[in-house]
Amino acid sequence: MLPLRFRRVTMSARVLVGVKRVIDYAVKIRVKPDRTGVVTDGVKHSMNPFCEIAVEEAVKLKEKKLVKEVVAVSCGPQQVQETIRTALAMGADRGIHVEVSGKDYETLGPLQVSKIFAALAKKEQADLIILGKQAIDDDCNQTGQMTAALLDWPQGTFASEVTLEADKLKVVREIDGGLETIKIKLPAVVTADLRLNTPRYATLPNIMKAKKKKIVNVKPADLGVDVSSRLEVLKVDEPPQRQSGVKVETVHDLVEKLKEAGRI
Amino acid sequence: MRLPIACFPLLVPHYNKHTTIVPIGGVCLNLRKMDQVLDLHQEDFDVTVEPGVTPKGLNSYLRDTGLWFPVDPGADASLCGMAATSASGTNAVRYGTMRGNVLNLEVVLADGTVLHTAGKGRRPRKTSAGYNLTNLFVGSEGTLGIITKATLRLFGIPESMVSAVCSFPSVQSAVDSTVQILQAGVPIARIEFLDDVMINACNRFNNLSYAVTPTLFLEFHGSSKSMEEQVSITEEITWDNGGSDFAWSEDEETRGRLWKARHDAWYAALALRPGCKAYSTDVCVPISRLPQIIVETKEDLIRNNITGPIAGHVGDGNFHCLIVLDPNDPDEVQRVHSFTERLARRALAMDGTCTGEHGIGLGKRALLREEVGLLAIEVMQGLKATLDPKNLMNPGKVL
């Protein structure tokens, strides 16, 4: 069995896609009165928007017959199965639910998730991992990069365009100065940025069909991963309330006020 | 002093978009902050929404369920506002208008009491219980009460969508094709008609090169397997009627490009005369009368030197002239005004209506009388007097 790094990718390529269940982007977030976190009870949750883009890209690759199988993975309690089902309805072939609940779930972060993904990539013999660039709840933007490092795979992050060319991936990345195009060898990790594609809405017939697709349950311990966290959240606060401005009568007053405030 | 009340309607974008016209002063209520989606019942295909929810917002909320609310008036308007104005959209031919898709309303009446038109919390798909109060308020344009909740009928997102475009040698052949497509039982989702003036404007605006003749833009919804059948039946019909350049696509990007002309029609029309304003007419006739009314209307436009490209929902017999005029030219304004009156009367003479989608408001009150007759107006006035004896609700509109 050749080491992962040297396997040639053929039409039998397998893609792992990570999907995270987060508070829906349209919800107004409220901080809990005890300032330990945000209110999640009874609040609408859905798939992280960047994960939707990741799933869409994987499904597109499958529709173009460039990859054979798309596996959707999510880490969390029972409810994340809904998120995996959405990925299945969008076109993923099967799902893996890594069970993490209770305190472990509250402290689950990119380091543990990337260890889980690295373990799954080896177990499932994945050729490509596509993740959202970041989750909209923690904005970490770390899981893709850490996963690639743990596997010693190349990474194409902030991807706005991905093209498969034989066993290499051409990735156009969105960076501060503009766009950077790189070529990386498979297997690799890609993280999806906003402009990579527009995710499809799951159609009702596809949601019905997705109910027959399999989701397998796995525990982190089965993968040899310790999910305990080395981080402790001390407090969570809302951003400061916006102060109202002050109107002044003359330019002279404006200059005085700016001087008072130490701005000029 | 008792103040009249008008609600903030978010209507289709035409001359007075986003403004509430209150001729005698009063209070405008903006219900935008009541923006919750309540009580979704996936298996029953129904959901209840507050006034601040729009079709885009609702469909985004529903995206994990495979359901959608397909009535799409073009502007991302308030759903309760759409109920108040009996809004319609480009896919009414398949999914209907608000009239058929509102199951229940919560309405605040003029005296402050709260009415549930079909009974509190009720949402059966059909009923024959008592007078149809729900549909009394749908289209009442805020004159009978303020809608604070609407229970809506949802549909499954179709497995597959295909868009197509076809050119025709004449208005008649385009409309004949439309009628035959419907008669063939093709469950077509959208049939949009653009006349040669509109196509020309679109070509210029978007650097396209469609043939400058009447054109149909079509959309099919259904299972993947049925798409090919629907498209081939339709293509054959258009061919039999002299249609040409039939192009179709299932791929989302190509579909967007095919329909770009139709999506940008409003702006393309405006671009014909930069610096001018646009005013949209709205009439609806039985489909068989569509060729005649469009031909006569085009002759009227030319005779009176009015820039009026035409776009229409031909599957419903409904069309709009997107008139582009200089509001500072009193002669032109007068010509356009007379034209619109003639157009409305032309539609009435053909068993049609003076407004397919946009409502009566202020401007079409006299035409409403002509359309429904004195007795119907008296019945409507009786209902208004019963529900709003002090004439607080959006006074001066509709009646």
pLDDT per residue as tens digits for the range A112-155: 999 999 999 999 999 999 999 999 999 999 999 999 999 999 99
Which of B49, B64, B161 best probes binding to A when mutated, by most A CB atoms within 10 angstroms? B64
Would you call A205 and B59 a contact, using CB atoms and an 8 Å cutoff?
Answer: no
CA distances from B322 to B114, B281, B381 (A): 40, 7, 32
Contact between B146 and B93 under an 8 Å Cβ cutoff? The reply is: no
Would you call B157 and A89 a contact, using CB atoms and an 8 Å cutoff?
Answer: no
Closest approach of chain A CAs to the CA of B317, in angstroms? 30
Task: Express the helix, strand and coil content of chain B in percent, nearest 5 each.
Answer: 35, 20, 40
Q: So what's the pLDDT on residue B76? A: 86
Instruction: State chain A's mean pLDDT as an integer.
Output: 93
Q: So what's the pLDDT on residue B1? A: 44
3-state secondary structure (DSSP) of residue B306: coil
| Identity of the amino acid at A251 | V
Residues of A within 8 A of B157 (CB-CB) are: 201-204
Would you call A207 and B68 a contact, using CB atoms and an 8 Å cutoff?
Answer: no
- CB contacts < 8 A (A, B): 44
Closest approach of chain A CAs to the CA of B12, in angstroms? 24
Q: So what's the pLDDT on residue B264? A: 85
Per-residue model confidence as pLDDT tens digits over B23-59: 677 888 999 999 999 999 999 999 999 999 999 999 9
Percent of chain A with pLDDT over 90: 87
Burial tier of B292 (Cβ tally within 10 Å: 0-12, 13-18, 19+)? middle
Low-confidence ranges of chain B (pLDDT < 50): 1-2, 8-18
Q: So what's the pLDDT on residue B21? A: 66
* Strand intervals (E) in chain A: 14-18, 21-23, 45-47, 69-76, 94-99, 128-132, 155-165, 168-175, 178-185, 188-192, 215-218
Residues of B within 8 A of A53 (CB-CB) are: none
- pLDDT band per the 50, 70, 90 thresholds, residue A11: low
Residues of A within 8 A of B154 (CB-CB) are: none
Closest approach of chain A CAs to the CA of B148, in angstroms? 21
3-state secondary structure (DSSP) of residue A60: helix
Say which residue, B172 or A157, is predicted with more confidence. Answer: A157
Would you call B61 and A201 a contact, using CB atoms and an 8 Å cutoff?
Answer: no
Per-residue model confidence as pLDDT tens digits over A182-209: 999 999 999 999 999 999 999 999 999 9
Residue of A nearest to B43 (CA): A204
Whether pTM > 0.90 for this model: the answer is no
Residues of A within 8 A of B50 (CB-CB) are: none
SS (H, E, C) B76-121: CCCHHHHHHCCCCCCCHHHHCCHHHHEEEEEEECCCCCEEECCCCC
Would you call A203 and B156 a contact, using CB atoms and an 8 Å cutoff?
Answer: yes
Q: So what's the pLDDT on residue B26? A: 83
Contact between B368 and B360 under an 8 Å Cβ cutoff? The reply is: yes
**Interacting residues of A241 by C-beta distance below 8 A, sequence separation 6+:** none
**Is the four-CA dihedral B90, B93, B99, B105 of positive or negative sign?**
negative
Residue A6 has pLDDT above 50, yes or no: no
Residues of B within 8 A of A89 (CB-CB) are: 66
| Identity of the amino acid at A75 | C
Sheet of strand B46-49: strand arrangement: B37-41, B46-49, B146-153, B102-108, B114-116
Average of pLDDT values for A96-105? 95
Contact between A10 and A66 under an 8 Å Cβ cutoff? The reply is: no
Which of A19, A21, A203, A209 best probes binding to B when mutated, by most B CB atoms within 10 angstroms? A203
Closest approach of chain B CAs to the CA of A1, in angstroms? 40
CA distance A161 to A171: 6
Closest approach of chain B CAs to the CA of A142, in angstroms? 26
Chain B residues with CB under 8 Å of a chain A CB are: 57, 59-61, 63-68, 156-159, 223, 252
Q: So what's the pLDDT on residue B18? A: 44
The two three-digit tokens of residue A176, written as one number? 């501060």
Q: So what's the pLDDT on residue A56? A: 97
Per-residue model confidence as pLDDT tens digits over A43-80: 999 999 999 999 999 999 999 999 999 999 999 999 99
Nearest by CB: B66 against A46, A47, A207 = A207
Nearest by CB: B64 against A200, A202, A205 = A202
Nearest by CB: A26 against B61, B67, B252 = B61
